Structure 1
């Protein structure tokens, strides 16, 4: 895989060609290819430190624990998520985790009462996630995330490599199964997010996350009852700011 990725770096960095080359690659192979095509200084992992995040972070650490990891601390995170972040940093030896917060002036201007999540969740996500991520990714030309097709909704047909504005976006877990992720946890003895045992299958901000039943869609507990399934960081291209 490394030879294949190197050939794309030298001769053909088109997203479609790279996606085709990596379509059946394993998660470590995709991350290794991303490193070769983009380079460590221009590549970041974006992680929510949520219910399945440890699998991506474990694979990343095995490939190169110095790859920068971006975590969006929205100000509405569960305390359990913040503790889990710190636990995984220690367990996996991640060397460059950057916790990014929303712009204080934007919060004062648009969410002074701290209840925008209820009245206008799309705007809340924009100022607490989309805009901070755009700033955080400014130094990078490629980024890695943990979306999977089995999560359903808009994620059901994601590519392994896609164009995201001016950047390449790598989805190394796009075509893996729940069983593969479970095996990563089992073989590495990774801890689960503390809220998983309480029925939280997809974990984001506290006000907009609820428990979900086993028969529901993977992300049914996110923005329940609002017809919203994504915060915007995967549906709005991140600008080159």
Structure 2
């Protein structure tokens, strides 16, 4: 089958952008759970997945989704550099919430063999490391879906302050049901529904990524200041335009 040319791909992206903007206007004010219900049961039935890092704030979105459909595919990117606590937390939430379709995806062995044979690429080129270990595995996992759900929020970083509820990303719709939630609302929801916290939060890690590039955060610091500390970097590339595909990609 012939591959679409650049003009066709660009045209499709523009149409999807119009579609996403329409959804944002129609459904953006209905609240997170209703946005999720509409996206999962109506707009993208059978063609949507949730991407979760099983990080510090992840339990809230996972709980909301579990009350709508426990069989929805949940993609977890296992970079090979995660904290052991994150994997154990993943397993704890799967059991507590009754999630039945969590899929872990990993970097391709051939990519690691070529670009990170010693496993220390993060020391010299953390953008490339993120690209190989996060961006590319997620791209492969999303190839069968028309839409995906993310847990991003506007308060998290400067790149997310105008985050819509529906947007277009790489030829599919991305749904951000928690876009307007504050950190206080996230904590209150978790408390109200007796959701267990990620064990590293109590140890000073309010934002948790890969072990080599995640540091503790001192009281009063920005919660995400421990991610890639001292580096000119605030996203891994998954949530950047074109999934950070400049072979040096740049988080969930």
- Give TM-score scaled by structure 2 length: 0.87
Partner of 1:5: none
How far did residue 136 of structure 1 move? 0.3
Counterpart of 1:26 in structure 2 is 31
Aligned position for 1:55: 60
Q: 1:215 to 1:24 in 2, by over 3 A?
A: farther
| Residue 229 of structure 2 corresponds to residue 228 of structure 1 | no
- Displacement of 1:178: 1.8
Decide whether the 8 Å contact of 1:202 with 1:221 is kept in 2.
Answer: yes
Q: Which residue of 2 aligns with 1:145?
A: 150
5 Å matches for 1:60-71? 60-71=65-76
1:41-61 deviation per Cα after TM superposition (whole angstroms, max 9, x unaligned): 210000000000000100010
- 2:78 equivalent among 69, 73, 79: 73
Q: Residues of 2 paired with 1:213 and 1:222: CA distance?
A: 13
Which runs of 5 or more residues in structure 1 are unaligned? 1-12
The 2-side partners of 1:164 and 1:97 are apart by: 22
- Offset, 1:129: 0.4
CA distance in 2, matches of 1:150, 1:238: 21
Gaps of 5+ in 2: 1-17, 245-252
CA distance in structure 1 between the aligned counterparts of 2:184 and 2:229, rounded to whole angstroms: 26
Name the residue aligned to 1:109: 114
Q: Deviations over 1:182-203 (max 9, x none)?
A: 1221121111000000110100
1:1-241 correspondence runs (5 A)? 14-35=19-40, 36-39=42-45, 41-238=46-243
1:208 and 1:223 in contact (8 A); partners too? yes
1: distance between equivalents of 2:107 and 2:80?
A: 8
User: Whole-Å Cα distance in 2 between the matches of residues 22 and 222 of structure 1?
Assistant: 32
Query: Secondary structure in 2 aligned to 1:63?
Result: coil
How far 1:238 moved relative to its partner?
Answer: 4.9
- The number of aligned residues is 226
Measure, in 1, the Cα distance between the counterparts of 2:201 and 2:183: 14
2:237, 2:243 within 8 Å by CA — same for their partners in 1? Answer: no
